[in-house]
Amino acid sequence: MMESEMYEFVKEKFDEILPGLLDMVLDKSIIEDENYMKIVKDSDGNEYQSRYDYNITGFSFVIITSSMAPNEVLLRSMYPVKVIN
């Protein structure tokens, strides 16, 4: 699967949970209570029913790839780090 196809696949899977979810994760708007509560179901445990303010500033989302040319959308919306061994 090519990088652009992989990005679209991941985006589609996130959209199955909630349309626009990947964008909310990438721009960190998912940590806003009204967005976070959109993905919580009544059947989820009590630990998911309230806000998690205690570590919200430490929220990070990381994508790791071995591709030499990652998807351009990801490069523009994230902080890329190239690891050379």
Three-class SS state of 23: helix
Q: What is the pLDDT of residue 42?
A: 83
Q: What is the pLDDT of residue 16?
A: 97
Is the full-model pTM beyond 0.75? Answer: no
Provide long-range contacts, Cβ within 8 A and 24+ apart, for 67-73: 67/3, 69/3, 70/3, 71/3, 71/4, 71/6, 71/7, 72/4, 73/7
Tokens of 47: 């630990």
Q: What is the pLDDT of residue 48?
A: 76
Give yes or no for a contact between 80 and 70, defined as CB atoms under 8 angstroms apart: yes
CA atoms of 47 and 63, how far apart (whole Å): 26
Q: What is the pLDDT of residue 54?
A: 61
Of the candidates 82, 57, 54, 71, the one whose C-alpha atom is nearest the C-alpha of residue 8 is 71
The residue ranges of every structural domain in the chain are 3-77
Element housing 17 (H / E)? helix 3-17
pLDDT tens track of the chain, all 85 residues? 565 677 888 899 999 999 999 999 888 888 887 888 888 888 888 777 766 666 677 777 888 877 777 778 778 877 888 888 7
Q: What is the pLDDT of residue 24?
A: 92
